[in-house]
Structure 1
Amino acid sequence: MLPVEVPYCGDLRLERWTKLSQQDPLVRFYDVCELAANAAMGGPNGRKLFCVDLGHCHDKFRGFDIKVLAVIYSRFQEVMLLDAGTLFFQSPMALWETDKYKSTGTLFFHDRICLEYSFLAARSPFVGGQDGMAIGALHRFLADFNVKPYHQLDVVGRRDPSLQYSEQLLGLDLDFQPSSFLINSHAWKLHTGHQMDSSLVLWNKARQPRATAILASFISLNGLPTVPSYGDKELFWIACELAETAYAFSDFAVGAIGPDLVTSGSNNDGVLCGDALQHFPEQIDAAKGSEADAEPLYMNSDYILKWGGTTKRLYSTAARAAELYPGSFTERKLPLSCPFDVTTTELAPAEATLLTQRFTLPKNFTCAREKPITGDRI
């Protein structure tokens, strides 16, 4: 079992912190905003890095960007970053041993393919690329970013063929060599305003020093443009892309889990409305074959504490390849929480039981360990 760190931004009362620490003294609570407020170039009297003072830090980091600070100020080199609304259906410990993580020091998951005119895919009036090709906010941000100051830092080498055709770059003059993943991504093709779900991120700072420095620059007081992402969603991915380092995404697209089965689907013909469901990022049972369904790994929900009290039948979607573009929610006139053309199945009893256990967990929070845990992972 790994140690746990809980970052906060001056918003955890002392009595609450004390109570939680007594229940599990091996959980570290750390005020990342206090740390960030004291960070400066060249010593205490130098130029401030993240915020001008503590109040500014509270205004700036009591939101999504606290997750980036949490990684930067973690005492561990290898970090598994989790949202509080994440519920696992199997142990995440196996993720450390995946080929994806071991080869790159990263592991990312996909977000819903939606909002094709917002965030990464937002268009500016009368702005186009080569031969009238549309240009989105992601394209503009990447084209304007200067990567040269970070070249002295190390990366994980890519095994990626060089792009041969200028039309793949939409006529953009990029300061870095883009990966084939970027050029083939749904975000690059303006199919979606989101690409990455940051509810679970694996990140190795020791193996990704250049990407970590670029990640920190995204939230620094440096006058650089803001990443056109919804919160922190794509910051980790874009940092790796600009760093020209190898990184890894799940093989599978985000699915759904919930009680609202609009249309039952046995062969990619269903519609299920619900919260985000992620499958194990690679097929772990080779005997099943590449077409077999991957195992559910975790769900993410803002309403996760309500799930354990439901008496309704619960359903989930089968895994499908991340590179598949199913079409537009807008054109299908469906909410973003309702993936379509999916295979659906009723939730297994063991998986439903986990939801009930999570429902009771906050009421019975306790944890006992026999000895301290040390190491480089969190």
Structure 2
Amino acid sequence: MTTFGGACVASLQKLWRIFRVMVKFEMDDLQTIKWDYKSNSISANESFAASIAKAAEAVVAMDASHFAKQQQKDHEQLQRIAAQHQQEIQQEQQQHEQQQQQEQQLEQQLEQQLQQEKQQQQQIEQLQQVEQLQQVEQLQQVEQAQALVPQEQDPTAVLQAAVIQDEQHQQVLQHIATAAAEAGSTLATVPITASPQPSAKAAVGSPEWHKIRRDNHKEVERRRRENINDGINDIAKIIPSCDKNKGSILREAVKYIKAVLAENERLTGELSAATTAKHEIERYLLEKSVAEATIHSLNVQYEQMKREYEDLRQKMDEAEGGPSSKKQRTEGRWGSAKDDANEERQRFPAERAKNRPTVPLLKVPDNLYLTHDVAIPGNIPVWTQEDTDMLDTTIGFDLKTEMLKEEYGKDQKLDNPNQLNFSELARTEKIYKALWNHVYPIYQKLSGRNDREKEKALIQLAKTHPEIDFFLRLEKRLFPWVQYVRQSSFSLHGTFKGRGLVFCAGNNQFEFVVTSIQSVRSRLKSTLPIQVFHMGDGDLSPLRQEYLRKMAADVEVIDVTNILDNDYMRLGGWAIKPFAMLASSFEEVMFVDADAYFLQDPAVLFQDPGYLTTGALFFYDRTLFANWAVGADWLKSVSSDLSSFTHISRMFRRTSAHEQESGVVLINKKTRFLGLMGTCKMNGKWERDLVSYKIFHGDKETFWTGFEMIQEPYVFMRNYGGVIGELRPDNENSNEGVTRYLDFGYWMAGGGHQKHRERDTNDPEALKEILNELGLKNKDEIPKEPKDAEWDFKQSCLVGARVNILTDREKTLANGYVGIDKLAHEEHRKIIAGETVDPRGHNWETV
């Protein structure tokens, strides 16, 4: 009922509001209202009804506006309340933080006060101890004085002195207490006494006074004995097998200390002797290296003096009418390949005139011999006008005919190793070196806008200069692949700039080179530019070439046959490596095998002192196959004029068939261009198929022997190879220590294949292939070198070598390379399947 009444009231109120609005806004539209008595109702015209409707709509609009305004006011009120509440919360937080800061400050102040109180308490205790000790000493002095001169001692004076000392101690203690009170310490109110005393002070000299002094003396003595006992007990813990008797403990402690001092003195002496011996050994090694270099220099001087002596004897024979002719002198200078029995005639030139200019010997710092094995070549003389004049003689004509034989490579097929005379080749290369050093300065002075114009000018000059004509023809015969898109090697030599890394890769090495390049770029952050060489689209497919170009910054992919003439090179397998180094645009080039990985930025090798001295840095291979005479015999047959390194090499001494590991090679082509040319010659089609690769294991030894052929300097870093793997006890014989096993997970976890298959000889077919390659019948014939770390083919491990633990950074790098190898293998699988892959879609730094 109440609800219905409320609704009626609300309706009436609303009708009243409508009526008021109608009267206010629609008064002009109102007309006469008539009362109908019959219907007892009010009637109005249409205008009045419309006015009522408008009024109703106005009321509704006013209600909506009023509701919106009221809602806006309520919202603003809520915002004010929320802001006020937030402000109160912030104030409470600030108050809480201030309260916490105040509490922390109070805690700090309390801690400081506690520390001050502790310090003051320690000072007071120290002063009490000092006062007690002084009292005891005074008492002892009084007693001693009484014992010595009792008849002359004045008791009154003794008592007065004791009183004075007591008063002084009381003044000191009172001064300390006053200072503590001024510092605000709570200890200022604590009474400080020199020693526990009765409340009533005993009279000086009284029995009670003497008793207190005796008690103090006993307490000091007790503490002293307690400290001594504690010290003796501590000593007993250190001395082994010691009795509990104090005297025994002290005696053993004295012996132990003396023994320790004697042992320390002995060890100091041994350390000093060892240090002296180490310095002596280093000095002897340095002297030995210097002596070896001096001996080589003396040998060179001896040969020169010998030739000068023969020249002088020949002149004496001419003066006396003996056998003397230009032919004899010329044959002595140039040598004759037909007379192999005459060693001097195999040299270029075998006979020098007195004071004839020569290329200066290499200057090597003495300390370099401690870390590197240096190859100092023979002293090749410079080309002179006398040599040029000789070319127009009959002997010169015969010499040119002999050296400029019909070149082979395009059409001629060689099937007999005897068709290649490496002794003659070495002599020809040395003559070429003298001519190159003579003609290159002439070429540099020629006018021309570019190398092509200079080469044309050089060819014109060759028509009137027989030595230039001889040089160009000799270069064509020795190195025909250089004159491909150029007329001489000079134009190629002038294009070299900067430093960089060179890789070689075909389809089978693709995933290896991806891992190696990404390890250098993404993990080691090396900025050295990289060039990847191949032998055409059939060797490395265009899809793989494009992948290599995109996967890292500053990577070029180059076809070596576009730079050097493959009709003469006939490249295949390992042979591409030195030719890729020659064809690269880098002045300082570092060749890296596709499966070689660094643990630091390879750029550091360019700062190696051996490389900076000679311009060529090589690395040793493992010692393997002793008593192998083929290599040593071949070296002796090539030339008697070899470098200082040859005679100390393991190959020459027949202690190893392997000398160089060619996985990393550094050559400065500006200074050692001719040495690299000699190495390329050793890897030519006929040289490698008939001789080089028959004697050596692939390209490995052709680098340093190529330098020997043309007599260029180089160094070997005096370090040898090892393996990275897991260290664990030897299961077969625990007495033999530990064995370093190669962890194949580093190379095969990502599905990558091992490049060196000889490390896994469990496969009978692989073992058969290895033995055929090594010329052995069975695995038992594989020799072991006792002087070096043993290489066990079955276990693929090195035995008896020094073990070094990898650093955490090196382990992280190695594990990162495994991740890269996994991704590279998967990418290569997709390329083989014909899928489209984009290396830029991977984050190589985190895989």
With the shorter chain as reference, the TM-score category is: 0.5 to 0.7
- Aligned partners of 2:729 and 2:717: how far apart in 1? 27
- Aligned partners of 2:546 and 2:621: how far apart in 1? 36
Which structure would you say has the larger Rg? Answer: 2
Structure 2, gaps ≥5 residues long: 1-526, 752-784, 825-838, 843-847
Output one character per residue of 1:347-377: Cα deviation in whole Å (capped at 9) or x when no partner.
3322111112112225285599xxxxxxxxx
Pair 1:354-2:847 in alignment: no
Indicate the residue corresponding to 2:692 in structure 1: 226
Partner secondary structure for residue 65 of structure 1: helix
- Partner amino acid for 2:548? L
1:85–1:367 Cα change, 3 Å:
farther
- Aligned partners of 1:81 and 1:15: how far apart in 2? 24
Residue 273 of structure 1: how far off its partner (Å): 3.4
Indicate the residue corresponding to 2:609 in structure 1: 99
1:352–1:333 Cα change, 3 Å:
closer
Indicate the residue corresponding to 1:8 in structure 2: 534
- Aligned partners of 1:32 and 1:79: how far apart in 2? 15
Output one character per residue of 1:224-263: Cα deviation in whole Å (capped at 9) or x when no partner.
7325221111111112223332211112121222126455
Match of 1:88 among 583, 595, 598: 598
- Aligned partners of 2:546 and 2:792: how far apart in 1? 49
Indicate the residue corresponding to 1:141 in structure 2: 634
Number of residue pairs the alignment of both structures matches: 259
Pair 1:208-2:672 in alignment: yes
Output one character per residue of 1:42-77: Cα deviation in whole Å (capped at 9) or x when no partner.
xxxxxx5313xxxxx4xxx1x111212211211112
Residues 606 and 612, structure 2, Cα contact 8 Å, conserved in 1: yes
Residue 201 of structure 1: how far off its partner (Å): 0.9
- Partner amino acid for 2:666? L
Pair 1:178-2:611 in alignment: no
Indicate the residue corresponding to 1:163 in structure 2: none
- Partner amino acid for 1:137? V
Residue 198 of structure 1: how far off its partner (Å): 0.8
Residues 262 and 270, structure 1, Cα contact 8 Å, conserved in 2: yes
Equivalent pairs: percent with the same residue?
A: 26
- Partner amino acid for 1:344? V
Compute the TM-score of the two structures, normalised by the length of structure 1.
0.60
Indicate the residue corresponding to 2:656 in structure 1: 192
1:344–1:24 Cα change, 3 Å:
closer
Partner secondary structure for residue 230 of structure 1: coil
1:241–1:16 Cα change, 3 Å:
same
Indicate the residue corresponding to 1:44 in structure 2: none
Pair 1:73-2:583 in alignment: yes
Residues 578 and 676, structure 2, Cα contact 8 Å, conserved in 1: no
1:336–1:182 Cα change, 3 Å:
farther
Residue 222 of structure 1: how far off its partner (Å): 5.6
- Aligned partners of 1:269 and 1:243: how far apart in 2? 47
Pair 1:327-2:783 in alignment: no
Output one character per residue of 1:76-123: Cα deviation in whole Å (capped at 9) or x when no partner.
121111012112111121111111110011111111101236xxx3xx
Residues 32 and 73, structure 1, Cα contact 8 Å, conserved in 2: yes
- Aligned partners of 2:640 and 2:582: how far apart in 1? 25
Indicate the residue corresponding to 1:247 in structure 2: 714
- Aligned partners of 1:366 and 1:83: how far apart in 2? 24
Residue 221 of structure 1: how far off its partner (Å): 4.6
- Aligned partners of 1:203 and 1:343: how far apart in 2? 30
Partner secondary structure for residue 619 of structure 2: strand
Indicate the residue corresponding to 1:238 in structure 2: 705
Indicate the residue corresponding to 1:31 in structure 2: 559
Between 1:108-117 and 1:26-35, the stretch displaced more is: 26-35
Residue 343 of structure 1: how far off its partner (Å): 2.1
- Partner amino acid for 1:83? D
Structure 1, gaps ≥5 residues long: 40-47, 52-56, 122-135, 146-173, 276-300, 310-324, 369-378
Output one character per residue of 1:129-171: Cα deviation in whole Å (capped at 9) or x when no partner.
xxxxxxx2222332343xxxxxxxxxxxxxxxxxxxxxxxxxx
Partner secondary structure for residue 719 of structure 2: coil
Residue 334 of structure 1: how far off its partner (Å): 6.3
Match of 2:739 among 240, 246, 271: 271
Output one character per residue of 1:288-342: Cα deviation in whole Å (capped at 9) or x when no partner.
xxxxxxxxxxxxx9x8543689xxxxxxxxxxxxxxx753778x86659432222
Indicate the residue corresponding to 2:803 in structure 1: 344
- Partner amino acid for 2:671? R
Residues 214 and 239, structure 1, Cα contact 8 Å, conserved in 2: yes
Between 1:241-250 and 1:97-106, the stretch displaced more is: 241-250
Residues 260 and 274, structure 1, Cα contact 8 Å, conserved in 2: no
Residue 19 of structure 1: how far off its partner (Å): 2.9
Residue 30 of structure 1: how far off its partner (Å): 1.3
1:86–1:178 Cα change, 3 Å:
same
Partner secondary structure for residue 201 of structure 1: strand
| Structure with the higher fraction of residues in helix conformation | 2
Residues 726 and 741, structure 2, Cα contact 8 Å, conserved in 1: yes
Between 1:75-84 and 1:225-234, the stretch displaced more is: 225-234
Match of 2:547 among 19, 25, 29: 19
Residue 15 of structure 1: how far off its partner (Å): 1.9
- Aligned partners of 2:788 and 2:552: how far apart in 1? 46
1:353–1:235 Cα change, 3 Å:
same
Residue 196 of structure 1: how far off its partner (Å): 0.8
Residues 675 and 707, structure 2, Cα contact 8 Å, conserved in 1: yes
| Structure with the higher fraction of residues in strand conformation | 1
1:336–1:305 Cα change, 3 Å:
closer
Residue 204 of structure 1: how far off its partner (Å): 1.3
1:193–1:261 Cα change, 3 Å:
farther
* Larger relative contact order (CA 8 Å, sep ≥ 6): 1
- Partner amino acid for 1:8? H
- Aligned partners of 1:251 and 1:307: how far apart in 2? 32
